[in-house]
Structure 1
């Protein structure tokens, strides 16, 4: 076995630039494990990468790969790796600014994986890693959300927001959610106490909040004004239409004023994935799968996520 199937693109552009091709199976270094990938999810950052919106980072060498998270089984263990075994089901992510999990195999270091939930199939499980690790970091570590506090989740039906609503309730918060008109009942089903249509409900109609988790990346000043004294806002996205002013605002607001905005880019490790596994096995978070696509339909999956109105995650199943 020298080659494997993988999602590739030879130029930046719309979803149609993606195709299923063949690349060499990666070699396993002594400190790595080889994972046979069963499923991945499609994330917003991958859309920006494929479209060329971060080409200063991704460069101009092609073909390029896509995909950052994965669920699968360990197929080979490097000579110096201990504590894991072949055949063990794991989930995890590739390293920061690394892509390529949309393939039959990936190599990673043990700190980038943890045992996957035993009560979920690979397709169910892969709906959780990106949103789950991001939400734990945002709500627990960055915002320090406390029981009884009022939490607002923007983009509550998406891959991150749908898990944030569930974790907010697990942490004991009163959760208000913003979502599209077709997803209001879906978000209520996740446990939100109040749900509003973001198209018809403006920030001035929402009241005040102790914590705001923003997955939309727009109107940061307007939502920041909703923070109660001592309130905290965590942003995981910026305005892709006006990236420089948006990023500048986030950086400035992280340093000045009484209602600071925390902005971060996730790079989770073993301990965070292990914690998410416990939440999933305890039933605190449940899978949020929108649509399952084969690897050959990677372009359709990207197109569907760009169209909006998503309920959870678009999944790529690697047959």
Structure 2
């Protein structure tokens, strides 16, 4: 076992630059586990990286990989690792790098936890990034309380669809802002109100205790929707105006009663384990839009960029 299949691209560009190729199987280091990946998902930031919109982050060396989160089973465990065994069903995410759309990943055990028993691998792969991001945004950063009003912008996507469910689990009144084709979908996830972003002005939405933005634009307008003492959590920024977008978030995070919080996720074992508990209790369910084979990685990126996504596009590896 010297090589494995993986999603690759040799230059920045449109989805068509992606292909299924072969790379060396990662060598498990001391203290790591080797995971045989059954399924991965396509996350919102990956098309920006592939298109070359953030070259300072992605760099100039090719070929490049794609994929952040994964679901699979432990193939090898270092003798120094406790709590995990070969054959365990796990899910997790790579720490600040791409490459999970492949047959194997080598990770530190803090980057994985046991996956929910009530999900298939493909269903499980739809949740690690969206689930842990939502937990961090709503429970940790915003400290969402029962009875508060929550607005989720981009509620039909991979993160927003989980945030709607988690908001309800935390006892909030949830308003979901989504595309017109996703309104029934987010209502079915538990949203108290589902509003089309193409037919309603932000200024007509009222006020909220917490706003969670998964889109990355219009932060000034969204901040005006906060009630006194309100909190806004932004998990994305405008890639076309990065300095202005990031600068505004930093200033508003430090000044004023209506603060914007931004964070870059690097979830670890405790968060994945918490997400597992939410899923096994039925509070959060999987959010699969479409399952693609590894050879269909370009089609998955193309579909995500076309919009109208309901949940996650999943890449079947095994």
TM-score category by the smaller chain? Answer: over 0.9
Say yes or no: does 1:138 pair with 2:137: yes
Question: What is the deviation of 1:48?
Answer: 1.1
Describe the SS at the equivalent of 2:314. strand
| Equivalent residue number for residue 152 of structure 2 | 153
Q: TM-score, normalised by structure 2?
A: 0.99
Q: Which residue of 1 aligns with 2:79?
A: 79
1:216 lines up with 2:215 in the alignment = yes
- The alpha carbon displacement at 1:241 in A equals 2.5
Partner of 1:20: 20
Match of 2:270 in 1: 271
Give the Å deviation of 1:79. Answer: 3.0
Aligned residues: 318
> Partner residue of 1:106?
105
Runs of 4+ in 1 over 4 A off after TM superposition: none
2: CA distance between counterparts of 1:51 and 1:129? 24
Quote the residue 1:227 is aligned against: 226
Instruction: Report the Cα distance in structure 2 between the residues aligned to 1:180 and 1:39, rounded to whole angstroms.
Output: 27
Between the aligned partners of 1:175 and 1:129, the Cα distance in structure 2 is: 22
TM-score normalised to the size of structure 1? 0.98
What's the secondary structure of 1:91's corresponding residue? Answer: strand
Structure 1, unmatched stretches of 5+, are: none
Deviations 1:165-187 (A, max 9, x none): 00000000000110111111111
Deviation at 1:276, TM superposition (A): 0.2
Separation in 1, partners of 2:257, 2:224: 11
| 1:1-319 superposed matches below 5 A | 1-96=1-96, 98-319=97-318
Cα displacement string for residues 23-55 of structure 1 (whole angstroms, at most 9, x for unaligned residues): 111111121110000000000111111111111
Q: Distance in 2 between matches of 1:57 and 1:213?
A: 24
Please report how far the alpha carbon of residue 243 of structure 1 lies from its aligned counterpart in structure 2 after TM superposition. Answer: 2.0
Task: Determine the C-alpha separation between the residues in 2 that align with 1:251 and 1:20.
Answer: 39
**Aligned partners of 1:216 and 1:99: how far apart in 2?**
21
Moved more, 73-82 or 185-194: 73-82
Deviation at 1:19, TM superposition (A): 0.6
Measure the CA separation in 2 of the matches of 1:117 and 1:15: 32
- Classify the secondary structure of the residue corresponding to 1:44: coil
The runs of 5 or more residues in structure 2 that have no matched partner are none
Q: CA deviation at 1:203?
A: 1.1
Quote the offset at 1:240 in angstroms.
2.0
Give the superposition deviation at 1:144.
0.3
Deviation sequence 1:128-180 (CA, Å, 0-9, x none): 11110000000000000000000000000000000000000000000011011
How far apart are the structure 2 equivalents of 1:57 and 1:135?
23
Give 1:252 deviation, angstroms: 1.1
